[in-house]
Amino acid sequence: MLESEGRVKVTSLCRLFGVSDVTIRNDLTQLEQKGFLARTRGGGIRFQRAGIDSKLAEKSKRHAEEKRAIGKKAAELIKDDDTIFIDSGTTTLELAKNLNALRNVTVITNALNIADELVGRSNLKLVMLGGMIRQNSLSLVGPVAESSIKNFYCDKLFIGVDGIGSECGITTPNIEEANLNKLMIQNSSRVIVLADSSKFSRRSFAFIAPISQIHTVITDKNIPEAELGNLQSQGVEVILV
């Protein structure tokens, strides 16, 4: 069930196997100890291998409802006259779709799909970074993008990640993407990570930053309980949708 669906719920497993929730919870704990899943509220989600670099079209189909809710909530953190970085990704694209009510916001992005979503909106100023196009993410990376981003300082950075953990920090499959993300973090007053709960089961290939450099995480209510507690104990604001 984990392999095919990506997650399991205690209530469903109790009905399926005709056993108590205590039995199922014990089984899930053993599976977590063996590295097959990460516990969440009311169930568990599958661990993912590091280094997988999926295409946007594939990512957009995963946890779509959660991503929409996260994007909508993230937009509430932006104020009129803000200057913001929006990183590439499917969850950050959902944020871009919710900027209609804002005024005089300057958006700097390295993502072609996000620029396409925002171009022509009279209430926004759009700045597109240069660089080499990554086909999988439709993002601009490399020396040109890194040189460009050093010219800007932003109030807020909204960053999507492929993996997040209270111990391993935030990660992505691509080294060049990680290097650009590091510069975004350095030049932002507030770092806001947009990540659905499935990202907490992943540790991807390239390291971006430790949790100590993150101010806020917006995720859904299926975040593993231990991760929620660890993030909050480290002073990270966690917003659940």
Residues 64, 41 within the same domain? no
Per-residue model confidence as pLDDT tens digits over 60-83: 556 789 999 999 999 999 999 999
| 51 within a domain of the structure (yes/no) | no
Contact between 127 and 86 (Cβ < 8 Å)? no
Per-residue model confidence as pLDDT tens digits over 18-62: 999 999 999 988 887 766 777 777 888 776 555 555 565 556 556
If you ran DSSP here, which 8-state letter would residue 142 be given?
S
Name the stretches of the chain with pLDDT < 50: none
What pLDDT was estimated at residue 57?
56
Contact between 75 and 241 (Cβ < 8 Å)? no
140: domain CATH number? 3.40.50.1360
Residues 209-213: contacts with CB under 8 Å, at least 24 apart: 209/169, 209/170, 209/181, 209/182, 209/185, 210/169, 211/166, 211/169, 211/170, 211/236, 213/169, 213/185
Q: How far apart are CA 147 and CA 48, in angstroms?
A: 33
Number of DSSP helices (H) and strands (E) in the chain, helices first: 10, 15
What pLDDT was estimated at residue 56?
58
> Per the structure, how many domains does the chain have?
2
What pLDDT was estimated at residue 44?
83
Residues 82, 171 within the same domain? yes
What b-and-e string marks burial along 117-156, b requiring 16 or more CB atoms within 10 Å of the CB? bbeeeeebebbbbebeebebbbbbbbeebbebbeebebbb
Q: How far apart are CA 122 and CA 129, in angstroms?
A: 20
| 10 within a domain of the structure (yes/no) | yes
Which residues 6+ apart lie within 8 Å of 190 measured at CB?
Answer: 155, 156, 157, 215, 216
Range of the domain at 190: 56-240
Residues 178, 82 within the same domain? yes
Using alpha carbons, list the distances in angstroms from residue 54 to 87, 136, 138, 162.
16, 7, 12, 10
| 83 within a domain of the structure (yes/no) | yes
Residues 42, 147 within the same domain? no
Residues 77, 129 within the same domain? yes
Residues 227, 113 within the same domain? yes
Residues 33, 62 within the same domain? no
Contact between 216 and 239 (Cβ < 8 Å)? yes
Kindly state the percentage of the chain with pLDDT values over 70: 91
CB atoms within 10 A of CB 89: 28
Q: How far apart are CA 116 and CA 236, in angstroms?
A: 32
Residues 73, 169 within the same domain? yes
Residues 11, 78 within the same domain? no
Residues 185, 138 within the same domain? yes
Q: In what order do the strands lie in the sheet with 188-194?
A: 124-128, 105-109, 83-86, 154-160, 188-194, 216-219, 237-240
Rounded (to 5) percent helix, strand, coil in the chain: 40, 25, 35
If you ran DSSP here, which 8-state letter would residue 162 be given?
S
| 26 within a domain of the structure (yes/no) | yes
What pLDDT was estimated at residue 117?
96
| 6 within a domain of the structure (yes/no) | yes
